A = this chain, B = another copy of it.
Amino acid sequence: MSATPTSQGAPRRATITDVAREAGTGKTSISRYLNGEMSVLSPELRARIEAAIERLDYQPNQMARGLKRGRNRLIGMLLADLTNPYTVEVLQGVEAACHALGLMPLICHAANEVEMERRYLQLLTTYRVEGVIVNALGVREETLRPVGGGGIPAVLVDRSVEGLAADIVGLDNRAAAELGTRHLLDRGFREIWFVVQPFEQVSSRRLREAAFRDAMRAHADAGAHADADASAAQGHTLVLNLADAAQTEHSLAELDRAIDTAHQRAGRIGVDARIAVFAANAPVALRLALHLKARYGDAWQTRVALLSIDDPEWAELTGITTIRQPTYDIGYRAVEFLHERIEGVQTTARDCLLPGELIVRASTAR
């Protein structure tokens, strides 16, 4: 039982000095004890220290330690959008790794605001974090200047930042998009729409879309020689700007026309009426599903075969085929990379591309 602080207010936590006095020794020994240099302490002294710490309920002040040794075990975690389930899942991996490595993540949520992102980045340096993991939103190389390269260590998650040479870990976007495209092709879909948010600074969106196009082209090329039917496959890319309602409506209308056209044509030929829609990520998939349901009713899946990268909790419920990202691992690896850099391991910028996993559900059945 600690001294009852009858008078409320500021019970002023015990300091190392208090402990030293209580144990009848000097601060140094306490410090040594705290840092596990047990071998250099007589068992007797050690016991006294232990008792004193217990009695005073002493807890070393991380801030003070950090100030002294120049490292506070804090790392920054800059998130573009916590609303995206992807982000939360990555965070789990981050937390776990930090825990294992004795790091403490300072989590900052930019909520899709570039200005916030900038501010947080500078706030983090103010707290002298030892490194940052950033799931960049719109940062330019300049904003990240204090970071990476000559500044504090940094590793990027999911997205690269132009002009910045830093470690990056994320999904193998190319392979994932190919996987999805080929799955749709294999299932016999011949008209595929790839729907993605505006590319902007987000490299992963670009990569996925490019891989989709390449996969479609590869299929067409192969088909020209072998399978006559294959050559009919056509891929379209649709940009969906979720941040702008009007633009979103406009894009969705375009998709609707394609769906209806295909439906009419199919009626004549007597074949599966569905076109396939490949959503580049979960937010896009959700928006699409909501729209389609509003337009075609509960049976919307008889009109469209939806496939998505990311595997949100509602995918199973709605029966949608997805490509699940190894989110936990992404977060975990990111921290490991950062830790190595913090510890001074000097390597050139590395890329860590983790594979996605295709989860087949009813939406792409034929």
Contact = CB atoms under 8 A, between A and B. Distances in A.
A109 B95 contact: yes
Contacts of A237: none
A329 to B, nearest CB: 16
Contact of A91 (B109, B127, B290, B298): B109
Given A8-B149, A109-B92, A150-B8, A317 B290 contact: yes
Nearest to A94: B109
A28 to B, nearest CB: 20
B92 A111 contact: yes
Interface residues of A, number: 54
A163 B314 CA distance: 38
A353 to B, nearest CB: 26
A145 B150 CA distance: 44
- What is the copy number of this chain in the assembly? 2
B109 A106 contact: no
Contacts of A57: 146
Interface string A306-325: 00000011101111000000
Interface in A270-304: 286, 289-290, 293, 298
A333 B64 CA distance: 31
A76 to B, nearest CB: 11
A36 interface: no
Contacts of A104: 106, 123, 127
A344 B1 contact: yes
Contacts of A210: none
A201 interface: no
